[in-house]
Amino acid sequence: MKAQHFVVVLLLVSNITLSSGFLDMFVAAASVVYTYFERDDLLPFDSKRLEADLRENFFGQHIASNVIQRAVSSFMTDSNPNKPLVLSFHGTSGTGKNHASKIIARNVYEKGENSKHVHLFISEHHFPHTKNLRLHSAHLKQQIHESVSRFPRSMFIFDEMEKMQPQLIDAIKPFLDYNARVDGVSFRKAIFIFLSNADGNVITGVTLDFWRKGIHREKIWMDSNELEIKISENIFNDKKGGFLRSSIIDEHLIDHCIPFLPLEMKHVRQCVLVQMAHLNITQDFDLADQVARDMPYFPKEERVFAVKGCKSVRQKLSLYID
């Protein structure tokens, strides 16, 4: 029911008679209150919908799909979580980290990534000058605090975490802790997602080791060759990354460090078919094969894993169509 209709019905039921001018003012005030409490963009969470979305639109990342589905479902169905959900995605460019965050967003909010409750921060774009770190930190803390005070189920995505200054990472830290309450606002229902390319070489190395041993890529799991431990150690010891000097890692505030494996040609082909659908092109499997084959792969001779993942697939496809 619209706020205006609600107020008019209320007045009629209460037999209250007001002048037109006062009624307009009353309706305007009621609209503000109604909008404040209205949860118009939060979807009723459906674990099966998220599972299907990941299965149909997220290719070649069986580890990430499994962890995301279970972690997000458990968090969203918990009426009283003891901390925010904190996910950290790791892998080389083009393996689907941004895409996965968009899938989560569209299963939480009606408008998905375009929701006013989804906040994206790109390190070099939003925090470009190290000399302004104090100002950046203050603004970041204010924005997170105000967003969650208005809407507890807010989502924050931080891209290029490997380039983020440790002072900025520590500015986020108070909001991630157990039973976090900052200046009277609880952050336990918020979602924080970190995206990083920093551990791509570690993840690629493990994947290549399995391939050289003749072990199928889908046999890799979080405990394979101590993959999760290697990722955590690499984050902590990376002298170029802000995590090294941040307290987020050693205080164990990240719930899941999720590896994104290098993609194979069959996965790139799936991405090409999706782009055909987005461009309203009739699906052409032979063309999809050709576009996928023409992307760069490594090792150079065997051409097993895509150098750029699914990044620039649309641009490559455009070369083959009118």
CATH at residue 148: 3.40.50.300
- At 252-309, the pLDDT tens digits run 889 998 999 999 999 999 999 999 999 999 999 999 999 999 999 999 999 999 999 9
pLDDT higher than 90, residue 247: no
Total count of domains within the chain: 3
For residue 183, which phi and psi values (nearest 5 degrees)?
Answer: 50, 45
Containing structural domain, residue 298: 265-318
Model confidence at 207, in pLDDT bands (50, 70, 90)?
very high
Residues 141 and 212 in one domain: yes
Residues 185 and 285 in one domain: no
Q: Binding site annotation covers 94?
A: yes
Whether residue 16 lies inside any domain: the answer is yes
Residues 20 and 69 in one domain: no
Lowest-confidence region among 80-89, 119-128, 213-222: 119-128
**How far is 76 from 81, CA to CA, in rounded Å?**
9
Q: Binding site annotation covers 97?
A: yes
Is the previous residue joined to 84 through a cis bond, with omega within 30 degrees of 0? no
CB 196 within 8 A of CB 232: no
CB 46 within 8 A of CB 107: yes
More confident residue, 26 or 250: 250
Report the predicted TM-score, pTM, of the whole model to 2 decimal places.
0.83
Residues 78 and 149 in one domain: yes
Please tell me the predicted confidence (pLDDT) of residue 9.
42
Residues 238 and 275 in one domain: no
Q: Binding site annotation covers 47?
A: no
Residues 195 and 113 in one domain: yes
pLDDT higher than 60, residue 35: no
Residues 58 and 205 in one domain: yes
Model confidence at 226, in pLDDT bands (50, 70, 90)?
confident
**How far is 292 from 269, CA to CA, in rounded Å?**
5
**How far is 95 from 60, CA to CA, in rounded Å?**
8
Q: Binding site annotation covers 93?
A: yes
Range 180-193 average pLDDT: 92
Whether residue 42 lies inside any domain: the answer is no
Q: Binding site annotation covers 205?
A: no
Whether residue 83 lies inside any domain: the answer is yes
Mark which of 210, 236, 259 sits at the end of a domain: 259
Residues 15 and 33 in one domain: yes
Residues 142 and 211 in one domain: yes
Q: Binding site annotation covers 82?
A: no
Q: Binding site annotation covers 91?
A: yes
Residues 218 and 298 in one domain: no
**How far is 150 from 276, CA to CA, in rounded Å?**
39
Residues 308 and 230 in one domain: no
Lowest-confidence region among 12-16, 97-101, 212-216: 12-16
Please tell me the predicted confidence (pLDDT) of residue 13.
44
pLDDT higher than 80, residue 233: no
